[in-house]
């Protein structure tokens, strides 16, 4: 039985992974900004009451990340995997039109929060003598530049560099760092803008075509990730769901049937 902490895990891929870990027999700390999880989520997890806890955490605040670690240790005794999944989307606008406050929120969560979480987990995992840190890649990690997403893409590009460098620093220690590359997923990042309104992506016909070819539900990606995370023994690992081969195969299948996620 392994013990898992996932930031940003009350929805999307974070929640899908939490559920998959629980089904695999793990103990999981679920985390989000809210003081409590929703009644709906509590009902969904009712069968795992002995195997999960919820800890409120704003990843921008090191003191809250420290509390997330401490309460998880108090409950589970050790942490085997710390997953920095919390993320902030950017408005679908040109960079020059995005308010500085929104820019700061994106950087605070996607870069500072990820780095703070990695620093804390690395420090304490070295003390406990084992552990793995995983950071969630996204658009921009592979150098792809898409207009009106460049703030988000910049943060994910930085995440990839940082995680590779962290793995290098951890080389020869009992702690490992790796990356999770989920591809395109049907989450709030696609369907909603940061203010909760309908995303501009859904009004773009060319984007909808590509997404319906390449996109997946977070539950599908989680089923791929979790067994590989639990079995991983390699520092600097990258777990990739949407490989180049899979991408090519899906486009080849387009004339023979349509996938419709949005």
- Domain holding 100, by residue range, is 3-198+216-243
What does 114-129 look like in DSSP terms, one character per residue? HHHHHHHHHHHHHHHT
Closest of 68, 66, 57 to residue 109, by C-alpha: 57
CA distance 30 to 12: 12
CA distance 175 to 131: 5
Half-sphere exposure of residue 100: CA atoms within 13 angstroms, side-chain side: 0
Q: Is 216 exposed, middle or buried (0-12, 13-18, 19+ CB in 10 A)?
A: buried
175 inside domain: yes
| pLDDT confidence band for 71 (50 / 70 / 90) | very high
| pLDDT confidence band for 204 (50 / 70 / 90) | confident
CA distance 47 to 240: 30
For the stretch 83-113, pLDDT in tens is 999 999 988 899 999 999 999 999 999 999 9
Closest of 112, 27, 36 to residue 77, by C-alpha: 27
258 inside domain: no
For the stretch 126-164, pLDDT in tens is 999 999 999 999 988 998 888 888 999 999 999 999 999
| pLDDT confidence band for 188 (50 / 70 / 90) | confident
250 inside domain: no
For 123, the token pair is 């420090």
Percent of the chain with pLDDT over 70: 100
Phi, psi of 91 (to 5 degrees): -60, 145
Phi, psi of 203 (to 5 degrees): -95, -5
So what's the pLDDT on residue 257?
83
| pLDDT confidence band for 194 (50 / 70 / 90) | confident
Given a cut of 80, whether residue 56 has pLDDT beyond it is: yes
**Counted domains in the chain:** 1
So what's the pLDDT on residue 213?
92
For the domain that residue 221 is a member of, what is the CATH number? 3.40.50.720
So what's the pLDDT on residue 196?
76
Cα distance from N-terminal residue to C-terminal residue, the chain = 37
Given a cut of 90, whether residue 21 has pLDDT beyond it is: yes
So what's the pLDDT on residue 198?
79
> What does each C-alpha distance from 32 to 15, 125, 169, 177, 179 come to in angstroms?
10, 22, 29, 22, 21
Given a cut of 80, whether residue 249 has pLDDT beyond it is: yes
So what's the pLDDT on residue 261?
86
204 inside domain: no
So what's the pLDDT on residue 193?
78
CA distance 9 to 32: 6
So what's the pLDDT on residue 206?
84
262 inside domain: no
207 inside domain: no
CA distance 87 to 110: 5
Our separate counts of H helices and E strands in the chain read 10, 7
Q: Are 69 and 133 in contact (CB under 8 A)?
A: no
For the stretch 27-52, pLDDT in tens is 999 999 999 999 999 999 999 999 99
152 inside domain: yes
| pLDDT confidence band for 240 (50 / 70 / 90) | very high
């Amino acid at each position: 039985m392994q013990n898992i902490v996932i930031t940003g895990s009350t929805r999307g891929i974070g929640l899908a992974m939490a559920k998959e870990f629980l089904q695999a027999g793990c103990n999981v700390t679920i985390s989000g900004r809210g003081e409590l999880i929703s009644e709906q989520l509590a009902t969904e997890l009712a069968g795992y009451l002995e195997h999960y806890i919820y800890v409120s955490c704003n990843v921008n605040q090191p003191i809250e990340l420290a509390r997330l670690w401490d309460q998880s240790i108090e409950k589970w005794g050790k942490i085997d995997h710390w997953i920095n999944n919390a993320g902030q989307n950017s408005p679908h606008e040109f960079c020059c039109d995005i308010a500085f406050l929104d820019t700061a929120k994106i950087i605070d969560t996607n870069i500072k929060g990820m780095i703070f979480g990695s620093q804390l987990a690395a420090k304490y995992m070295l003390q406990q003598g084992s552990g793995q840190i995983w950071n969630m890649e996204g658009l921009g990690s592979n150098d792809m530049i898409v207009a009106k997403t460049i703030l988000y893409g910049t943060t994910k590009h930085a995440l990839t560099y940082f995680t590779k460098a962290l793995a290098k620093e951890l080389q020869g220690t009992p702690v490992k760092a790796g990356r999770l590359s989920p591809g395109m997923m049907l989450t709030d990042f696609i369907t909603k803008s940061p203010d909760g309104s309908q995303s501009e992506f859904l009004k773009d016909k060319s984007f909808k075509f590509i997404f319906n070819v390449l996109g997946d539900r977070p539950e599908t990606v989680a089923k791929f990730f979790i067994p590989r995370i639990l079995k991983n023994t390699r520092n600097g690992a990258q777990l990739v769901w949407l490989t180049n081969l899979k991408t090519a195969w899906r486009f080849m299948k387009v004339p023979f049937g349509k996938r419709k996620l949005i």
